[in-house]
Structures are given as C-alpha cells and as structure tokens.
Chain A
C-alpha cells in the first residue's frame, strides 16, 4: 500500500463500464471494468474478479441509518466515472456518477426521450379521460425513468408546466399546466381513510359505472339536495 495519507497523494480518476450490480452487501456497490486498468478480456479478468466500487450519493441524500436515496440507479452497462481512493494503487474505486451519451449510430441517446419531446407513454384515452398534456421541450423536463418503465416527470416547459407520475401498467396521475388533475388506475382503486373525509366540489360531480354502485354505512346515509332528488330506475 503506497497510500499513507489518503486524499493527499493525488487524484487518479477513471471511466469504466458496469458489469455487475448484485452487491451481496446491498449497499449499492457495483463491479466496474475500468478502461486501461482492467483487462478488456473477460477470459483474463472475469467479472467476478473485478473489485466492488463504492458509490457516492448526492448531498441531498443522508445516506445514514436507512434515510436518504437508495444508491441503486446504476444499471449493468452504465458508463461511470470515478476515482481511486488509494490513488495510484488503484484498488479502491469510488464512483462519482454515470455518463450518458449518444448511441453509436448517433440516432439515439441514453437520455430518456421524454426529456426532449418524445413521450415514451402511449396513452389511449378511454371514456371521459382527456388526452395527455405532454408537450415537453428540451431541456425543461426533468425525467426519472426506470428500467421497469415507471416514469416521474417534473416538466418546466414554458406554458406547459406539468407533473406526471406514471406506472408501467398505465396507471397515472397527471397535473397539467392549468392545474387540471387526471387520475387513472388500470386496476382496482382503494382509498382508505382512518378518519373523516370532506369532498367539496364547486362544479358538478358525475359518477358512472359499468357495474354496480353500492353505498353502505354502519351509521345512516343522508342525501340532501337544494332543488330536487331524482331516482331513475
């Protein structure tokens, strides 16, 4: 070990490609094949013999006692940049971040398309469901898209500001530029309140169902109307 004074013996940085993220310690470490340090040939240096690289979290993450953002965003194949904590010895890699880029044919990139004007969500409007409010322009849309297909968008595109939380099943919540909220669930929807609920609607309310509607109470049910109550069997 040539390192005697960690942090005072130069900063040796590197780039590499992630080959394994199944950290047995479950703390976000990944195995990286570091360019010009590790052999390109897996026959000479198998993935299993690459050192585990530790990952740096954002300062917005406490990284303490189970609090903070989980360091699990890196995928196998991600290009990463980092440094060796032990300088020239090169045994303790620490990752600072990932490097997105264009694909080889320059026709696509590692950036989620939702960030630059191509929505990856193919919404088919159903019944009274309004059309998607998507209209993002680069570089205003902050997108978190996972490999499973979930998406969170915070879109600051001028005059089309929007918040969108999308589940891969098609369930989503979208708040458009005007504040209009669309909630859609592609499966059952449960809402459980442990106390009271007050719903104040300053417009009309319409409830339609293709199946039965049942209202039940362990107390009484009161229906009031200022003008009339119509029952159309």
Chain B
C-alpha cells in the first residue's frame, strides 16, 4: 500500500459539508486548499480551520449561514484505522478573490460538543468527588458521545458550580482537583480524537509509558541504527526548535526551588503556612525520568536559601476537606518543571497521533564535533505531546499531511 503513496501523503476518504437542516450534503474535497486541526493539552476542545478555494460560490449557492457541519475522514497510508472528525462551521472568514474566478475563505470550525457547551449553563450543586462531578458534567450535562477518561480524585467536595458551561465547569474543577497520588497531581482537561481526558500530568506520563516505543521520531536524514527504514522515514522530524530549555530564572520565579503557601483562614483571621522546598520534596515527584538532570541539589540549595515565592490563598477551616494548600507547592513546582523543556517539531503526518501521547524523540547532537555520535543524550528521550496541529494541504490531485507539535520533556530528574 505504501508504494502507492508519496511520503507525507494522506488518504482523504471524505470531506462533506452538510447544510443547517441536513437536507443538502456536498463533498468539498475539490474546494479544500488546506485543513488545520488543533488539539491542546490545556484546551477543553479541539477546533479546526478549513481553507477553501471556492469557484462555485458555495457561500451563496449552498446558502452557508454558519450552522453547517463538516466532516473529514482520513488516514495515513500505513494506518488501518480511519480517523473521522466532525465539526460545526461556526464562522466564515472574509473572502478574497482569486482572479475574479474563485474566492478564498476559511471555515472556522468547532466541535458539536463545544457548540452545545456554549449554550448550556450548569445550575446545580454536588456533594461528591470531583472525578464524579466531571463525569456528570461531560457525560450527562454535555451529553457527549465521546469516551471520557478520568483519573480519580481525592475527597468528597461540596461544589456549587457558579453558573458555568459544562466544559467551563470542568476547567474550573481541574484547578481544584487533588489526585489520590501523594503529590496531588497537576490536572489537565483536554480533548483529542479519542475522547476527553481529565488526568494529571503524572497519570498522562504513566499511561504513555506503555506506548512510548511505538512513537519514536528521528531527526537525522539517513539513520543507520534502525532496521526499518520505512518506519524511520515516516517518523522523520522535518524541523525542530526548542521553545523552552532549562530556564532556571523561570523556575525560580515560579517557585520550583522554594515556596511558601500562606493560607488565610477567614474563620479565625489567622495565617497557616506550608513550606515547600525542592530538595526536601524532590523524591516525591512522580512519573518522571529520574535520569534526566533538570535541577541540581546544589543550585536548589543556593536559590532555596533566599526568600521563597510566597503565595496567599483564602481558606475556611469550617469547610470539609481542602487539601490544596498542602500540595500547592508541589503542584506548582511540578507544572513549572513540566514546562521547562519544550520542543516544537514538524513531522510527517500520522493520523493516529494525538495530544497527550507520549513519544520518544531522537534529536541530533548539535555539537558538530562528534561525527559518530549523532543523537544527543541530553535532548533525546521521552516527551508528552502538549499541543498538536494537523496540517493537511492540497498538492495537485493529492493531499499532504504534516503535524506541528509542541512536546514537553518528561523530566523531574534531580
């Protein structure tokens, strides 16, 4: 099968535009110039943009009114499973003329769920665990047909949802969620092609560990250490750059080395303080690569000898279970460390790749002096895909598929 396809080519099985009442369906693959599908570990929903070169005046003849649905099914040639995305085209960008014969415009698209979410306000209170609240919000209130993957949270929390949309409420709750793990976990809520995820970064790393070997990317043109040259071609990194790398100033200012959580108790007008210190807590960081040196004990001691980053949070000891002040320092530090090493890549498209996946990157040694050593031990290793953009573009009578990725290095090593 692969021999029929050019490297980077994608098999588009269907792109269908359906009008507002479902009475008219039209295949628009011929009008599509490019498709961008966005996923983000910090966003509750996917979204997409379809750039159309329209010579048949779809806007008038199809009577587009911003309520159309658009469906795309595709797969990478070496994949068996077909991936289908369904979107609402909620807005049409201003058009521009192409020699008076066609117009170019962008259909801005969101998911069914997000469209429904925008018109729904949660008006209820809960007295249960946050994971059960999240399940209720996404499965029952949002009424999604997608799968929902939720990491259990700690403690029963009486929650009054302050009139937020279902997805807005989950975003609100992720800040308050405390995982059953010792450090509390840094929760993310995101959507990809497989469903919704309400999981801590630690859990994402754990879950990805089992698939990490099947997502390895190489940044060298002619790798000689792989037995499967076709696989290496597909997994070739076309471009990469470091977005963040070992920024100790950022880490210091965000309390990685030392922080103090002052909790103001409204009931007694008193302050309770919880100190966080990196060296005292480093062994508690979970699910990282301990071999990856990210912070040295000596430096942590040096910076940690100064005044800590002081946070001040409200509290009320009459309320049941508020674990947050106790784990905020750890969570804060973990999140900052997670964002300490971010690589931006462009790769050959893979229809199965999704945000939240764990991948291995083999990045080159850039010293230029050691010819034999082509892979950098420092930068190569396991990463989490934190942002992803499928970029599918028309090229003659076929479509090419690339993906732009932001990948966060799984570190936490000391």
Show the binding face of A for B, using Cβ within 8 Å: 1-7, 25, 27, 36-39, 41, 44-45, 49-52, 54, 85-86, 89-92, 94
Asked whether B314 lies within 8 Å of A49 as measured between CB atoms, the reply is no
**Chain B residues numbered 158-176 whose CB sits less than 8 Å from any CB in chain A:** 158, 160, 162-163, 172, 175-176
Asked whether B313 lies within 8 Å of A86 as measured between CB atoms, the reply is yes
**A interface footprint on B306-323 (CB within 8 Å = 1, 0 otherwise):** 000001111010100000
Query: What are 30 A-to-B residue pairs whose CB atoms are below 8 Å?
Result: A1-B175, A1-B328, A2-B172, A2-B175, A3-B313, A3-B314, A6-B264, A6-B313, A7-B312, A25-B267, A27-B267, A37-B163, A38-B162, A38-B163, A39-B123, A39-B125, A41-B123, A44-B123, A45-B125, A49-B125, A49-B127, A51-B160, A85-B314, A86-B314, A89-B172, A90-B162, A91-B160, A92-B266, A92-B316, A94-B266
What are the 3 closest A-B residue pairs judged by CB atoms, nearest first? Answer: A6-B312, A39-B123, A90-B162
Report the separation of the CA atoms of residues A2 and B328 in the bound assembly, to the nearest whole angstrom. 10
How far, in Å, is A148 (CB) from chain B's closest CB? 29
Asked whether A4 lies within 8 Å of B328 as measured between CB atoms, the reply is yes
Residues in A with CB closer than 8 Å to B318 are 25, 52
- Cβ of B124 under 8 Å from chain A: yes
How far, in Å, is A6 (CB) from chain B's closest CB? 4
How far, in Å, is B331 (CB) from chain A's closest CB? 10
Report the separation of the CA atoms of residues A27 and B127 in the bound assembly, to the nearest whole angstrom. 25
Known pairs A5-B311, A86-B314, A92-B266. 5 more at Cβ < 8 A? A1-B328, A4-B328, A38-B162, A89-B176, A91-B314
Residues in A with CB closer than 8 Å to B162 are 37-38, 90
Residues in A with CB closer than 8 Å to B324 are 1
How many cross-chain pairs have Cβ atoms below 8 Å apart between A and B? Answer: 65
How far, in Å, is A44 (CB) from chain B's closest CB? 5
Report the separation of the CA atoms of residues A37 and B159 in the bound assembly, to the nearest whole angstrom. 12
Residues in B with CB closer than 8 Å to A89 are 172, 175-176
Asked whether B125 lies within 8 Å of A6 as measured between CB atoms, the reply is no
Residues in B with CB closer than 8 Å to A39 are 123-125, 163
Asked whether A45 lies within 8 Å of B175 as measured between CB atoms, the reply is no
Residues in A with CB closer than 8 Å to B313 are 1, 3-4, 6, 86
Report the separation of the CA atoms of residues A52 and B264 in the bound assembly, to the nearest whole angstrom. 16
Measured CB to CB, the nearest residue on chain A to B323 is: A1
Report the separation of the CA atoms of residues A208 and B264 in the bound assembly, to the nearest whole angstrom. 63
Residues in A with CB closer than 8 Å to B312 are 4-7
How far, in Å, is B383 (CB) from chain A's closest CB? 27
Report the separation of the CA atoms of residues A41 and B160 in the bound assembly, to the nearest whole angstrom. 13
Report the separation of the CA atoms of residues A50 and B158 in the bound assembly, to the nearest whole angstrom. 10
Report the separation of the CA atoms of residues A1 and B264 in the bound assembly, to the nearest whole angstrom. 14
**A interface footprint on B74-86 (CB within 8 Å = 1, 0 otherwise):** 0000000000000
Measured CB to CB, the nearest residue on chain B to A90 is: B162
Asked whether A1 lies within 8 Å of B176 as measured between CB atoms, the reply is yes
Report the separation of the CA atoms of residues A53 and B123 in the bound assembly, to the nearest whole angstrom. 20
How far, in Å, is A107 (CB) from chain B's closest CB? 34
Residues in A with CB closer than 8 Å to B127 are 49
Measured CB to CB, the nearest residue on chain A to B331 is: A1
Asked whether B160 lies within 8 Å of A85 as measured between CB atoms, the reply is no
How far, in Å, is A51 (CB) from chain B's closest CB? 7
**A interface footprint on B239-267 (CB within 8 Å = 1, 0 otherwise):** 00000000000000000000000001011
Asked whether B172 lies within 8 Å of A44 as measured between CB atoms, the reply is no
Report the separation of the CA atoms of residues A91 and B320 in the bound assembly, to the nearest whole angstrom. 13
Measured CB to CB, the nearest residue on chain B to A64 is: B269
How far, in Å, is B276 (CB) from chain A's closest CB? 13
Asked whether A6 lies within 8 Å of B267 as measured between CB atoms, the reply is no
Asked whether B328 lies within 8 Å of A6 as measured between CB atoms, the reply is no
Instruction: Give the one of B123, B313, B332 with max A CB within 10 A.
Output: B313
Measured CB to CB, the nearest residue on chain B to A49 is: B125
